Chains A and B, each alone.
Chain A
Amino acid sequence: MGTVQSTQSSRPRSNNPLTSISTDAAMLNQLARDVKASMSIYDAGEDQVYGLLAEFAHPGELLHAAEAIHEAGFRHFDTHSPFPIHGMDKAMGLGNSLVGWITLGGGITGLSLATLMQWWMGAVDYPINISGKPFFAIEPSIPIMFELTVLLASLATAAGMFALNGLPRPYNPLFYSKNFARVTDDAFFLHIAASDRKFDQETTAQMLQELGASNVETIHDHGEEDQD
């Protein structure tokens, strides 16, 4: 979000075609950053600080903390828990998931593919007279139309879910935290990314502590340097 302002400030000069190209590039970068943020992927600052990771005692505390953080104006943050927590989407101010549209796309593709395939193969390319039955009719085509609709809709759902989540993501700076290994067991974390425009290492850490966090730690993104 921090770079939004710089994009906007360069806008008045965009009469020059060259700067307008660079503005477009900046806007694309910004878009890419926003999309990545929706997948819980953030850029580290220049000091390699990726964000703050705070642990909370139970789902109730985590929910309240997320609510408070969202109200305080933070957007680049996420909660991490061993299971989905009821009401967390609302607390974090997230809208409905987009997976459904991808499912719909997959389903429509499957249905049209099955219809076209059975019509073209059976009535156009290779028509065979079977007991005088029509070369193509809807009734005997329904089972395969149904199956391919379900098949492609399901595959699209799975692929769409992983794509929207930015998975697979083998590298994640959060994995540097020893404590974070318990997130898939019984620990509840809130992570505020350094890329959030409201982020300030000290005041944000203090805020998290006031919300009842135990063990607030700074996460560094060592990135490529870390390859030993």
Chain B
Amino acid sequence: MSTASTDKTLAHLADFHDEAPLVKGNLSFHDITEIVSSHTEKKTPFAWYGAFSLALAGLMLLLGMIAYLFWNGTGVWGLNNPVGWGYAIVNFVFWVGIGHAGTLISAILFLFRQQWRTAINRSAEAMTIFAVICALVFPTIHVGRVWAIYWTLPLPNQMNMWPQFKSPLLWDVFAVSTYFTVSLVFWYIGLVPDLASMRDRAKGKLRKLVLGVASMGWTGANRHWRNYEKAYLLLAALATPLVLSVHSVVSFDFAVSIVPGWHTTIFPPYFVAGAIFSGFAMVVTLLVIARKIYGVENIITVDHLEKMNIIILLTGTMVGFAYITEFFIAWYSGVQYEQYAFVNRMFGPYAWAYWTMMSCNLFFPQFFWFKKLRRNITFMFIISIFVNIGMWFERFVITVTSLHRDYLPSSWDYYTPTVVDVLTFVGTFGLFFTLFLLFLRFMPMVAVAEVKGVMPEADPHFYDHEGDGHGAEHAVQPSTQQ
């Protein structure tokens, strides 16, 4: 009796796997290695050079703008009283937000055993690291006197001074740099087995040497996997509160001040939801293109994209709910300044920015309630672009609308960015895509070892039923096709 029921459960489980395999197209272990690694081995495609030169031009633009800023000072930006914080903080929060998807996918979804994460975590983590690099550009260059930026670090110095630890801006330094370091370590640890895989396929002497050093002599030993998996789990457990903390700390930059429109307790959770929202949108934007060009549609399937769209729908709605809650709290507080700040957001001179934000972040993602639409590649690409735009405007609205009309109407002003502001922001996309294209060219864009590990054939008990007909259909498996 009991064995019969166990068999039934197993058969059911097998059916479940048949219905929704994470990897499509009947790929073997070898096929996956081949598909992912071959892109880094073949001759550089012409299109890559085209895209790379465009990105590199953007990076040059960024460097040019930074040089211009350093030479002339922050006066070249559109900042003045009362808007003392403009594009620099908007872009910083925008990029840090985008940098949240990767570690969320690799850490939180790992702890929740969402195995579909394996197809997308590598590229999302890479994106995280590059986005945080773009983010770090802004606080570094916005200080005006760049040569004094090291004052933010607790380094012994001839002035006998220490940083002021009660400032949220200093917490930011620690939060973002910790996030960057931990994301980098996490990413590298995940890369080691795949770099070893590329090392074992490498043809040239130099390539062998570089990959040999980078993969640290990995041999897939089980004694190593044992420590590796434990370390991966621990890093995921450490990175999970870290992801949630980073954007919370970023929101403290605003929330700890006493500016109407900023001084709210809803900021930390609302910023985190927004960060995940924008990060996932960016992952969808990039992967829709990359999976097509790199022919990994069977590994990064429509099912994966659909799951990401569901998260976009969820977090977008959460963010929209937060927008509305802010209004309620402003009204309920009975504070005249608080109420004015929000009415001004909705109907003031920046109403155009506010409604762009509202429609892109709250309205457009609602289309993802429809299964057809959230599985439509073109449609999701368009929506993800809208979300990217909307989330940039969210930070713009929060920063600028709260500042431009302060307590003293005589000092009210209308903030407009200068050309330098805009081109610096455009330039960070150059930096981002330069790094991302280098990643696509030289690194395995899918976590090969992890994808193999979640295939049904990776389970040693998958082979137990070889005799009963059910396993037999799968038995024509990996290692036979050399």
Residues of chain A touching chain B, judged by Cβ–Cβ distance below 8 Å, are 38-40, 57-64, 66, 78-89, 92, 94, 96-100, 103, 117-118, 121-122, 125-126, 128, 130, 133, 140-141, 143-144, 146-148, 150-151, 153-155, 157-158, 160-162, 164-165, 167-172, 174-175, 180-188
Note all chain A residues with C-beta closer than 8 A to B226.
Answer: 84, 89, 94, 97
Note all chain B residues with C-beta closer than 8 A to A86.
Answer: 459-460
Q: Is B463 interfacial (CB-CB < 8 Å)? A: yes
Known: A80-B222, A84-B229. A146 touches B245 (CB 8 A): yes
B174, B216, B218: the one contacting A143 at CB < 8 Å is B174
Note all chain A residues with C-beta closer than 8 A to B460.
Answer: 58-60, 62-64, 85-88
Give the distance to chain A from B220, nearest Cβ to Cβ, in Å: 5
Contact present for A158 and B220 (CB under 8 Å): no
Among B178, B182, B186, B241, the most chain A Cβ lie within 10 Å of the Cβ of B178
Note all chain B residues with C-beta closer than 8 A to A172.
Answer: 217, 219
A99, A143, A184: the one contacting B231 at CB < 8 Å is A99
Contact present for A151 and B178 (CB under 8 Å): yes
Note all chain B residues with C-beta closer than 8 A to A133.
Answer: 166
Size of the chain B interface, CB-CB below 8 angstroms: 74
Pull 29 A–B residue pairs with CB atoms less than 8 Å apart, ordered by A.
A40-B224, A58-B457, A59-B460, A79-B222, A82-B452, A83-B458, A84-B229, A84-B453, A85-B458, A85-B460, A89-B226, A121-B162, A122-B164, A126-B161, A130-B164, A141-B165, A143-B174, A147-B245, A148-B178, A154-B181, A154-B239, A161-B230, A161-B231, A165-B227, A167-B217, A170-B217, A174-B219, A183-B200, A184-B199
CA distance A181 to B477 in the complex (A): 20
Could you list 7 further interchain pairs (A-B, Cβ under 8 angstroms) beyond the known A164-B227, A169-B216?
A59-B457, A61-B463, A82-B197, A126-B161, A147-B171, A147-B175, A169-B217
Note all chain A residues with C-beta closer than 8 A to B163.
Answer: 121
Give the distance to chain B from A106, nearest Cβ to Cβ, in Å: 9
Q: Is B196 interfacial (CB-CB < 8 Å)? A: yes
Give the distance to chain B from A12, nearest Cβ to Cβ, in Å: 35
- B225-271: which have CB < 8 Å to A? 225-231, 234-235, 238-239, 241-242, 245, 249, 252
Note all chain A residues with C-beta closer than 8 A to B30.
Answer: 185-186
Residues of chain B touching chain A, judged by Cβ–Cβ distance below 8 Å, are 28-30, 33, 154, 160-166, 168, 170-171, 174-175, 178, 181-182, 185-186, 188-189, 193, 196-197, 199-201, 212-213, 216-231, 234-235, 238-239, 241-242, 245, 249, 252, 448-450, 452-453, 457-464, 477-480
